[in-house]
Amino acid sequence: MLLCTVRGCGAPLTRSAGNLVCSHGHAFDVARSGYINLLQPQDRRSRHPGDSAAALAARRRLHDLGCANPLRDAVREITQLTPKDTVLDAGCGDGFYLGTLARRIGFRGYGIDISTRAVDAAARRYPECEWIVANADRFIPFTDAAFSLVWSITARMNPAEFRRVLAGDGRLLVAIPAPDDLIELRGAGRDRAARTVESFSGQFALTRKERITTSADLSAASLHDVLVSIYRPMRSQPVEAMRVTFSLDLLLFAPQ
C-alpha cells in the first residue's frame, strides 16, 4: 500500500528487517515508536516543519480536557464509520481524531503529517494505527484507491491526491473552521464553505454539509493553550477564565 517518496520512483514499499525498501533499493526506517518517515529533504522548508512542540502539547491538553469530543463524535456520525473502513487522515497532527475513533470502532487507520513530532506523538498514543511522516501537499505515498474514507480536519487539502487514493465508492470529509469558531477570542471569521466546495468541484460532489458547534468553560491556562495551538496568534491574551466556542463546518463529498 505504501509507495516510495524518492522523486521519480513511486515504487511499492515492502517491509524488511525493521525498515521499508522499494525495488530500486530506497530504504526507510521504522522509528522506535512505530511511525515511518518518508519525508524527503526537498519536501520541507525547515528542519522541523509543521506544528511546534508547544502547539502539540497545548492541543493535546485541550483534547484531554474533552474540548474536541463533540466535534469528533460529529465526524463519526456524518461519515458513518464502520469496522470495514480503511481511513486516511491527511494532516493528522497528534492523531486525536483518527486514533480515538479507530480504537473505538476498529477500522484500519492511517495518518500522515509533515511534522515528525506530531506523528511520533500519535504513534506513541495510538499504536493501533499506522503513522507516516510525508508531505501530502506534494504526494500521498499510498497506492491508488487504497481508502474507503479520506478526511482532512482543519488541515491542508490536496484534491487531486485525495481523489487518487480514494476508492470510487468512497467518501471524503473536509472539516474547516466555521465563522463562529473561537469567536470570543478573534471575532467572527469568514465563511469558507462555498470556496472550499468550489476547490473540490470537478473531482468531488458535495453530498452533505453540517455545522457543528459546541462550547467549553476554560481556565486562563487552557485559553492560553488555545492561543498557542492556533495558527493566527492574537495581539492580546485573555487573563481570566471564559466560555469559548468551537465550531466546524463538515463537508462530505463523493468522488465524481
Helix/strand/coil for 116: helix
The pLDDT tens digits for 99-138 are 999 999 999 999 999 999 999 999 999 999 999 999 999 9
Q: What predicted TM-score, i.e. pTM, was given to this entire model? A: 0.93
Cell of 214: 459546541
Class of 33-255 in CATH: alpha beta
Q: Tell me if 254 sits within 8 A of 207, measured CB to CB.
A: yes
Q: Give the whole-number percent of the chain exceeding pLDDT 90.
A: 83
Tell me, what's the pLDDT at 116? Answer: 94
The pLDDT tens digits for 67-106 are 999 999 999 999 999 999 999 999 999 999 999 999 999 9
Q: Tell me if 253 sits within 8 A of 174, measured CB to CB.
A: yes
pLDDT band for position 237 (50/70/90)? low
Cell of 163: 481523489
Q: Tell me if 148 sits within 8 A of 1, measured CB to CB.
A: no
Tell me, what's the pLDDT at 156? Answer: 87
> b/e per residue, 111-148, with b = 16+ CB within 10 A?
bbbbbbbbbbbbbbbbeebbbbbbbbebbbbbeeebbb
Within 8 A by CB and 6+ apart from 121, the residues are: 56, 60, 94, 95
In the chain, ranges of CATH 3.40.50.150 domains: 33-255
Stretch 145-157: mean pLDDT? 96
